[in-house]
Amino acid sequence: MIYGFAPGDLSNLDFQAKNQQGESLPMSYSPLFEDLRGRLSSDNILRDMPSSALRLCEAIDKGDASAQQLERIIISDPALTAGVLRAASAAAFAGYSRGATTIRQAIMVLGERAVRSLAVAVWVSSIVKNATAAQFSAALFANHSMFVGLTARYLFSRQLKVRGDETQLIPDEVFACAVLHDLGLGLLAAADPVTFDATMTTARAQMRSPDEAFFEKFEQYPGALAAEVLGSWQLPAIFVQALQGWPSPLDHKQEVTALACIHYANWIAERNKQTFLSWVPESPLSPELSAFFDLAEDDLATVIELIDGQMRAYQSAA
Determine the 3-state secondary structure of 248 from DSSP: coil
- pLDDT for the residue numbered 17: 44
In a domain, 136, yes or no: yes
Residues in the chain, pLDDT under 70: 1-28, 41-50, 90-101, 117, 120-121, 123-125, 232-236, 316-318
Number of domains the chain contains: 1
Of 71, 169, 158, 181, nearest to 115 (Cα)?
71
Per-residue b/e over 120-131, b at no fewer than 16 CB within 10 Å? Answer: bbbbbbbbbeeb
- pLDDT for the residue numbered 94: 54
| Cα–chain center distance at 144 | 10
In a domain, 210, yes or no: yes
Helix (H) or strand (E) holding 242: helix 237-245
Is 129 in contact with 138 (CB distance < 8 Å)?
A: yes
In a domain, 27, yes or no: no
In a domain, 92, yes or no: yes
Bridge partners (DSSP) listed for residue 68:
none
- pLDDT for the residue numbered 99: 57
CATH code at position 71: 1.10.3210.10
In a domain, 292, yes or no: yes
Bridge partners (DSSP) listed for residue 24:
18
In a domain, 31, yes or no: no
**pLDDT tens per residue, range 70-121:** 888 888 877 778 777 777 776 665 555 555 667 887 787 777 777 776 776 6
- pLDDT for the residue numbered 103: 80
In a domain, 299, yes or no: yes
Of 284, 283, 281, 261, nearest to 270 (Cα)?
281
What is the C-alpha to C-alpha distance for residues 73 and 70, in angstroms, rounded to an integer? 5
What is the C-alpha to C-alpha distance for residues 53 and 134, in angstroms, rounded to an integer? 29
Is 295 in contact with 303 (CB distance < 8 Å)?
A: yes
CA distances from 120 to 53, 83, 116, 151 (A): 7, 10, 7, 19
- pLDDT for the residue numbered 35: 86
pTM for the model stands at: 0.78
In a domain, 24, yes or no: no
- The range of the structural domain enclosing residue 229 comes to 47-316
What is the C-alpha to C-alpha distance for residues 113 and 121, in angstroms, rounded to an integer? 13
